[in-house]
Chains A and B, each alone.
Chain A
Amino acid sequence: MTPLTLALPKGRLFEQVQEHFAARGLVFDFNDRKLTANDSSGRLKIILVKNADLPTYVHHGIAGLGLCGDDVVYESGYEFPHLLSFDFGHTSMALAARKNHVRTEHLSGSGHLTIATKFTRFTRDYFHGQGVPVKIIRLDGSVELAPVLGLAPYIVDLVETGSTLKANGLEVLETLKKIGVNLFANAAYYKLHYQEIGSLVDTLRTS
């Protein structure tokens, strides 16, 4: 049996994914800095990739299946058939600013919000959907610094506990979207392997 190929993201989700899979008989580990591994049952060939690159691998069919947060897929602009939502790794996309920030956009006449974020596509689409013009400054990390140092009064970022915001004197103004973790497939790959994928989804769904 040829194993199904699955791309997993490095970073915050990896250990939770590894644990969830292992509890259902799909045990894997990445030794010696390798970036590919097979699970103990032989059903999966797993490749470990950077979060933001994961949708690209699935879109091109290099990995048939992918697992990551909604935010990553949304930013990629690709759309994939949905297979399963997981009950771990939940977080929120939030608009934040310095504590006691006073909104002055309506006074400046520009009317737009200046927002620093890594999630430029989401931020643009969300605020345009609300009828709010936005000026976006793209940052790749340490977004919390932007309001503190005066780069932008607002940030849009993932918030789990809010402790990083708090430590930098920021607070959540509004939760924009709940972010879940999903298993998804390259559309053509799904069509060619729907039976094996269906069986894998059943395994992963068991509690």
Chain B
Amino acid sequence: MNPASQLYKLPQGTERLMLEEAFRRQELVRRVQDLFTRWGYQPVQTPVFDFYDLYSPSLGRNADSVYRLLDREGDLLILRSDITLFLARSMGVALREGHAPLRVCYADTILRHQELDDIAANEFFQVGAEFLGASGPDGDLEMLLLLEAVVAALGLKARVHLGSRAVFDAAFPGLEERARAKALEAVLLRRWDELPGHGDFRRLFGFIGNPDEADRLLASLAQLDPSVRSQAQMTVHLVRRLAALGFQDRFCVDFSEVGRQNYYTGLVFQVYLEGVGDAVAAGGRYDRLLARFGLDSPSVGFSLHLGKVETFAQLGELNSPATALPADGKTLEQRWKAAQKSRMAGRNVTL
């Protein structure tokens, strides 16, 4: 028998869901998966672990939080910490150059180290979608519309902030890796004194607003290089296309969104929800990620941290198994017959 101190100790970074909570999670996943199916996204499942060396160049800021272990042959393994990365590796092997555009989706757990006091992360279960072979702004727009549909299906009052890693890359070409990481951090943390380059960059990367405000800002930034300006205008145009479809309140231009993962190459976005201290979903374009795993294919995708939105999701009345009533009858056979009838009528019944 374990001493009580062992029994009640929970490893940091693990999650247990039981009964009603587990049923609600299952229902959330089912609704998102149904939506993915209607949009033509096919399910994929990635392995729980893989060889560490394949992923290490792509981990960026997450390198410190991944779990590593040795297998019996002495190879260093990594536990699945980012489904997009694991999916890129699987697809890189499975698909051939010039493949037809492929829409895939997933719902799975990830494992990352979590600091002792960081109970807010809740990054254990992700649902997401990836559009492989999707080049150009139409691919970006499809992904954003799908994201909007997911947010709406869960009844979340969330706002999507759209930025671009390509704007950042055009603004700071040729920076060596450390200087580049520092400049990225300066934007993410709004430390404008540490951002290299001219003052227009501070105004550009500090901007959040609607497409008209973004146009006025860009017109007022005289020092912007044409390549930076053109990338920024592409982001604004995308938000304008979404506004034209009726989603002007759901999406905004935010040039401080430059992507936390270092594999992004173009559009990046994060989703924010009142009451949650971190983005609940994130995604973007990663045109060169699959090439690291043997397949040159432009792609775009997103993932949603279900744990962060569960308490905010509006699912209506759920037909929970906890509501099941006992069937009538003296013997089990009689109860089984009665229960079959009740179940046909849509009621939950126990024997």
Contact = CB atoms under 8 A, between A and B. Distances in A.
Given A60-B277, A188-B277, A192-B274, A82 B161 contact: no
Interface in A146-191: 186-191
Contacts of A60: 119-120, 277
A81 B277 contact: no
Q: How large is the interface on B (under 10, 10 to 19, 20 to 34, 35 or more residues)?
A: 20 to 34
A80 interface: yes
Given A189-B277, A194-B208, A59 B189 contact: no
Contacts of A186: 277
A48 interface: no
Q: Name B's interface SS.
A: loop
B59 interface: no
A192 B189 contact: no
A56 B117 contact: yes
Given A192-B159, A194-B208, A61 B117 contact: no
Contacts of A62: 277
A67 to B, nearest CB: 15
B140 interface: no
A44 B8 CA distance: 40
A83 B189 CA distance: 9
- Greatest chain B CB density within 10 A among A59, A62, A186, A187 is at A187
- Greatest chain A CB density within 10 A among B159, B188, B274 is at B274
Interface in B96-150: 115, 117-120
Contacts of B273: 188
A60 B120 CA distance: 6
Nearest to B161: A191
B191 A188 contact: no
A192 B272 CA distance: 7
A202 to B, nearest CB: 14
Contact of A61 (B189, B208, B277): B277
Contacts of B118: 59
Nearest to A191: B272
Interface of B: 115, 117-120, 159, 161, 185, 188-191, 208, 254, 270, 272-279
Interface of A: 56, 59-62, 77, 79-83, 186-192, 194
7 contacts: A62-B277, A79-B189, A81-B190, A82-B189, A187-B188, A189-B277, A190-B190
Given A59-B277, A79-B185, 12 more contacts: A60-B119, A61-B277, A81-B188, A82-B191, A188-B272, A188-B276, A188-B279, A189-B277, A191-B270, A192-B272, A192-B274, A194-B208
